[in-house]
Structure 1
Amino acid sequence: MLRKLSLIGLLLPAPALAHPHVFVQVEMAVAFDAQGGVAVRLDWVYDAYFSMLVTADLGIDIDGDLQLTPDEQALLDAQVAAWPADFDGDLEVAQGDTILPLAPKRDHAMVYENGIIRETHLRPVAQLADRAAPLTILPYDPSYYVAYTLAGPVSVTGRDDCTVDIIPANLDAAYTLVEELLYGRPASDVGPDEDFPEVGRSFADKVVVTCAGLL
């Protein structure tokens, strides 16, 4: 996704600087292949306000017809073509207490439709820890600069013996944690140059994929 340094520049004019700054709906699918591999397909659907800020900042869709020219599409693609080395994709895949390594993204694409920016990509799991254990998947930004919310059901492709359980984030507990870590300060008082506590995981919806056979 568009990296946080550019996000800060886009959002400084906003009236409030409370975390989170960007709201993203996450559409997710889990894909198994014939070779025993597994990957998570993600669609990040950005909120209308942020999508508008991005198009204005890049100088695309100036005529407001909600259509991009080839040059404008190329410019939008260029902003997300290469993730910084220190960006892990705001995705955690685990088995039990073991966080699994993820391979570089694939099939990365940007779509601009009806004034909304959608970023889609595939994150293969590089190595499983236990082929008998369920997968636990959490989309989140540790700093909670970006708020990810799971949208719709999670599908599974490549096999038919898996079930998906979605555990919504406990928002009451997450907000209580924020208050404790900020010693009662309102989140809106945290300025852009201050470190916000890494509470993003507490706000993450959890997806648990359990299969009858080995992964």
Structure 2
Amino acid sequence: MFRLNCFFCLQLVFFILLFPFPGLSHPHVFISQRTDFVFDDKGLAGFRVSWTFDEMFSVMISEDFDSDHNQVLDAQEVAVIKEKAFGYIAPYNYYIHVRIDGKPFEVKFIKAFNAWLDNGTVCYEFFIPCHVLAADTPKQVVLSPYDPEYYSDIYFPDKTPLTMENEAAFSTKIQTARDQSTLIYYETVNPMAIFLSFKRK
């Protein structure tokens, strides 16, 4: 009996190694995101996104791209980071998934990318143009940051997860919650999202 149990256990381990269950995988990069909703005189102009990375990813980026190892990223180093450690996520909407009145908005490009080291922690900032004209009836905007392959886990910090800029001319409602209409990672995870409603005053 003992030999049979050992044989069964070995078979089970072998099976798990060859065919790993989805639940055994997990994110390898952790990103804290702050989002600034930027308005102009016509309505929403876009989103300023700030990412703060975990310690392990920060060490990797610092070692690979801070070429002079002075813990300061100059313009040339930032340009290389943008090309090699950020640009590859462009086909995934830069991990920023947006719906406007229920319709998907494709993030085709970003502006004003910057990267820096804050006491060894890597931070990114970039702006996503997204023009939504205000009307007398509310416009609904949902912003959900996630990596569809769940290699990176993007979460909101407990304090100041979002701000709004130049919103005084509009009536706004905003909240953060799980996006129950979206499932990722083998349909097991509802990503966090920001739900914005705004209209002209």
TM-score normalised by the chain length of structure 2: 0.70
Q: In the aligned structure 1, how far is the partner of 2:195 from the partner of 2:92?
A: 24
In structure 2, do the counterparts of structure 1 residues 94 and 40 end up closer, same or farther at CA, with 3 Å as the change threshold? Answer: same
What's the Cα RMSD here? Answer: 3.2
Q: In the aligned structure 2, how far is the partner of 1:142 from the partner of 1:35?
A: 32
In structure 2, do the counterparts of structure 1 residues 157 and 55 end up closer, same or farther at CA, with 3 Å as the change threshold? Answer: same
The answer to whether the Cα contact below 8 Å between 1:144 and 1:198 also exists between their aligned partners in 2 is: no
Corresponding residue SS for 1:80: helix
Question: Which residue of structure 1 lines up, in the alignment, with residue 15 of structure 2?
Answer: none
Quote how far apart the aligned CAs of 1:87 are. 3.9
Residue number among 193, 196, 199 corresponding to 1:206 in the alignment: 193
Q: Which has the larger radius of gyration?
A: 2
Does structure 1 residue 45 correspond to structure 2 residue 45?
A: no
Number of residue equivalences: 169
Residue number among 90, 95, 99 corresponding to 2:100 in the alignment: 95
Q: In the aligned structure 2, how far is the partner of 1:140 from the partner of 1:26?
A: 10
In structure 2, do the counterparts of structure 1 residues 126 and 56 end up closer, same or farther at CA, with 3 Å as the change threshold? Answer: same
Does structure 1 residue 34 correspond to structure 2 residue 41?
A: yes
In structure 2, do the counterparts of structure 1 residues 43 and 199 end up closer, same or farther at CA, with 3 Å as the change threshold? Answer: farther
Give structure 2 stretches of 5+ with no counterpart: 1-23
Corresponding residue SS for 1:134: strand
Higher strand share: 2
Q: In the aligned structure 2, how far is the partner of 1:41 from the partner of 1:119?
A: 11
The answer to whether the Cα contact below 8 Å between 1:156 and 1:162 also exists between their aligned partners in 2 is: no
In structure 2, do the counterparts of structure 1 residues 34 and 69 end up closer, same or farther at CA, with 3 Å as the change threshold? Answer: closer
Question: Which residue of structure 1 lines up, in the alignment, with residue 124 of structure 2?
Answer: 119
Corresponding residue SS for 2:93: coil
Alignment of 1:7-18 (within 5 A): 18=25
The percent identity for this pair of structures is: 18
Residue identity matched to 1:125: C
Question: Which residue of structure 1 lines up, in the alignment, with residue 162 of structure 2?
Answer: 154
Quote how far apart the aligned CAs of 1:199 are. 5.0
Q: In the aligned structure 2, how far is the partner of 1:20 from the partner of 1:69?
A: 26
Question: Which residue of structure 2 lines up, in the alignment, with residue 54 of structure 1?
Answer: 61
Q: In the aligned structure 2, how far is the partner of 1:21 from the partner of 1:156?
A: 30
TM-score normalised by the chain length of structure 1: 0.66
Q: In the aligned structure 2, how far is the partner of 1:209 from the partner of 1:69?
A: 34
In structure 2, do the counterparts of structure 1 residues 59 and 93 end up closer, same or farther at CA, with 3 Å as the change threshold? Answer: closer
The answer to whether the Cα contact below 8 Å between 2:73 and 2:115 also exists between their aligned partners in 1 is: no
Question: Which residue of structure 1 lines up, in the alignment, with residue 77 of structure 2?
Answer: 75
